[in-house]
């Protein structure tokens, strides 16, 4: 049994996330965590809300609430939605936790001791209209590199070039839209990332098994232009981890907090500490290589926009501390999921957000479609036509139909028990061989985190059962050879249990319903397919389950298309 630490990119606190956010980090991380647990491995799966920074302050002000109360409320909302999607976090923490405050300040002090923090007196953008210094992300303008007219003060989303607000052409405040900006003097701390370039390059070069998307982004940020730059890690804000604290190796930093991109990744470690405080677990054996974490495989899941910070900035913090912290072993990154020819947009009411999705259909519909269309090699696109077609065909026509046909037929002809009689023949042997081969391929893809390929193999296993039933036709055979029909249905009933076990990482609620219907809690992985197909013995009772998946009608699809179209440009 191996030990796996899994984290997904932590969602920001200000608002409910859309389906693209879900499939870009949390959902595939949950898929992998569920699969590893099903294979008997020890897993610690962590996530949290990212709560600091100006966006939280502004969202709280808009809601008319103190920022700490707003964050507590939104954390509860996001936790409830995560539960609705069956995301199996071992702990869903908060970056505003006491643990993260202490740990962030400790890392900063340690980096200073290592000579990797420098104090800089600089001029930053101050909005006269807003009466405040503006964080980089709250300044927009034209990118000097590619000409994109909505580049942020820290990065251009079009060409991904790292920027400073002073680089922008015609900058404006995104808070008020004011162009009355001026440079004012302020003092900040910088992480000397440039000093870590060699160590980071060596570390990244050693990750030959990483996805091309991950390494290409990391190397671009590491080597393009002037290469890796020192990065400001403090901001003039009131909400966040205070920069000035007892024992801090600097002075004159009152009223400043650490930049959210410095403290947020540290929450991964703090989250384990929160988990330990709640459960009595040992967080150090997961994060400290001097306490057992050298045996842990650590995997991160994230969208491509988060890759630079997790391949460079956070590793610079970990490596720069010169302490025995666990570094990530594998970063699974994803492209973007777009919505029906454009982008998801909260302000325009465009696209389906996580709470809305759950109000329309059970989570397994969304889980299946998103994972089977995961944007791994390129951006993907959600359309209602494809969603309806895929879920109806895969979930209702293939998997749901098999469960319904087998249980109803058996109940009608043999009663609600696994029937006796007959024996396996060539058709059954062929099915067993196909399932064995496809299950090996499925497991191989799951272990490699090849999400779409795994979904294809899983669906093929479902299809194999349907094709067997269609060809063997027990509903016809029963008229002339009831014993042989009983053997065919006995195999099919056991196949339902096997399908539940192997499908659970993708569609956990439906899998649980299948197991309940089969009146078993034997979730043993079918390493031996032949034995697994006799796990439910003759005479074992079952219930005819409710319809697993109702089909999406044309009328529903058309109504949802209109409902979530939003306002177009």
CB atoms within 10 A of CB 72: 17
405: left (phi over 0), alpha (psi -120 to 50) or beta: alpha
Strands 181-191 and 231-232: antiparallel
Radius of gyration of the chain (CA): 27
**Residue 71 annotated as binding site:** no
Spatial CA neighbour of 205 closest among 311, 299, 122: 311
* Cβ contact 350:382 at 8 Å: no
DSSP state, residue 417:
B
Determine the Cα–Cα distance for residues 411 and 545; give it in Å rounded to an integer. Answer: 11
Q: Which residues contact 73 (CB under 8 A, 6 or more apart)?
A: 65
The packing angle between helices 363-372 and 451-472, to 10°, is 110
* Cβ contact 127:178 at 8 Å: yes
**Residue 47 annotated as binding site:** no
Determine the Cα–Cα distance for residues 128 and 181; give it in Å rounded to an integer. Answer: 6
Determine the Cα–Cα distance for residues 50 and 9; give it in Å rounded to an integer. Answer: 9
Spatial CA neighbour of 173 closest among 146, 152, 194, 158: 152
Determine the Cα–Cα distance for residues 214 and 212; give it in Å rounded to an integer. Answer: 5
**Residue 346 annotated as binding site:** yes
**Residue 410 annotated as binding site:** no
Determine the Cα–Cα distance for residues 486 and 412; give it in Å rounded to an integer. Answer: 12
Spatial CA neighbour of 307 closest among 210, 220, 214, 386: 214
Contacts of range 67-73, beta carbons closer than 8 Å, 24 or more positions apart: 67/239, 68/96, 68/239, 70/13, 71/13, 71/96
386-417: b or e for each residue (b if 16 or more CB lie within 10 Å)?
A: ebbebbbebbbebbbbbbbbbbebbeebbeeb
* Cβ contact 178:130 at 8 Å: yes
Binding-site residues for Zn(2+):
143, 146, 156, 159
Q: Which residues are annotated as a binding site for ATP?
A: 346
Annotated binding-site residue numbers? 143, 146, 156, 159, 346
């Amino acid at each position: 049994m191996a030990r796996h630490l899994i984290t997904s990119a932590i969602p920001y606190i200000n608002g409910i996330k859309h389906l693209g956010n879900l499939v870009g980090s949390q959902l595939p991380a949950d898929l992998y965590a569920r699969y590893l647990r099903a294979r008997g491995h020890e897993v610690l799966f962590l996530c949290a809300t990212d709560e600091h920074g100006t966006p939280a302050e502004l969202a709280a002000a808009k809601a008319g609430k103190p920022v700490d109360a707003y964050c507590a409320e939104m954390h509860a909302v996001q936790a409830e939605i995560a539960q609705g999607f069956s995301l199996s976090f071992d702990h869903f923490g908060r970056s505003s936790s006491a643990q993260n405050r202490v740990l962030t300040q400790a890392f900063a002090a340690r980096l200073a001791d290592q000579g990797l923090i420098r104090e800089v007196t600089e001029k930053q953008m101050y909005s006269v209209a807003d009466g405040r210094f503006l964080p980089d992300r709250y300044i927009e303008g034209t990118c000097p590199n590619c000409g994109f007219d909505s580049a942020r003060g820290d990065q251009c989303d079009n060409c991904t070039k790292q920027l400073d607000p002073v680089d922008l052409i015609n900058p404006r405040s995104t808070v008020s839209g004011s162009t009355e900006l001026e440079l004012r003097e302020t003092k900040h701390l910088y992480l000397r990332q440039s000093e870590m370039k060699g160590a980071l390059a060596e570390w990244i070069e050693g990750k030959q098994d990483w996805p091309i998307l991950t390494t290409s982004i990391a190397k671009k940020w590491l080597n393009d232009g002037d290469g890796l730059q020192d990065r400001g890690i403090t901001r003039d804000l009131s909400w966040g981890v205070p920069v000035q604290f007892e024992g801090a190796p600097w002075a004159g930093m009152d009223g400043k907090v650490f930049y959210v991109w410095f403290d947020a990744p540290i929450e991964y470690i703090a989250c384990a500490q929160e988990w330990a405080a709640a459960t009595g677990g040992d967080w150090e054996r997961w994060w400290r290589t001097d306490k057992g974490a050298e045996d842990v495989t650590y995997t991160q899941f994230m969208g491509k926009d988060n890759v630079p910070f997790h391949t460079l900035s956070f590793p610079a913090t970990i490596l720069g501390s010169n302490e025995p912290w666990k570094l990530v072993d594998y970063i699974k990154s994803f492209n973007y999921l777009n919505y029906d020819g454009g982008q998801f947009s909260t302000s325009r009411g465009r696209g389906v957000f996580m709470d809305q999705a759950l109000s329309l259909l059970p989570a397994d519909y969304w889980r299946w479609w998103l994972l089977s269309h995961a944007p791994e090699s390129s951006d993907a696109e959600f359309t209602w036509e494809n969603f309806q077609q895929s879920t109806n065909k895969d979930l209702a026509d293939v998997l749901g139909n098999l469960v319904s046909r087998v249980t109803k037929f058996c109940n009608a002809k043999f009663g609600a028990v696994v029937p006796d009689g007959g024996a396996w023949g060539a058709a059954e042997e062929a099915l067993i061989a196909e399932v064995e081969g496809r299950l090996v391929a499925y497991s191989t893809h799951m272990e490699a985190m090849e999400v779409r390929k795994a979904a294809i193999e899983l669906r093929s296993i479902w299809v194999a059962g349907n094709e067997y039933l269609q060809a063997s036709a027990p509903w016809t055979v029963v008229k002339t050879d009831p014993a042989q029909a009983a053997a065919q249905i006995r195999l099919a009933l056991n196949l339902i249990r096997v399908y539940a076990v192997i499908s659970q990482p993708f569609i956990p609620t439906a899998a649980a319903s299948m197991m309940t219907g089969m009146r078993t809690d034997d979730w043993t992985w079918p390493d031996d397919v032949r034995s697994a197909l006799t796990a439910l013995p003759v005479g074992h009772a079952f219930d005819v389950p409710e319809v697993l998946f109702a089909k999406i009608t044309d009328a529903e699809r058309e109504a949802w298309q209109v409902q979530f179209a939003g306002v177009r440009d």
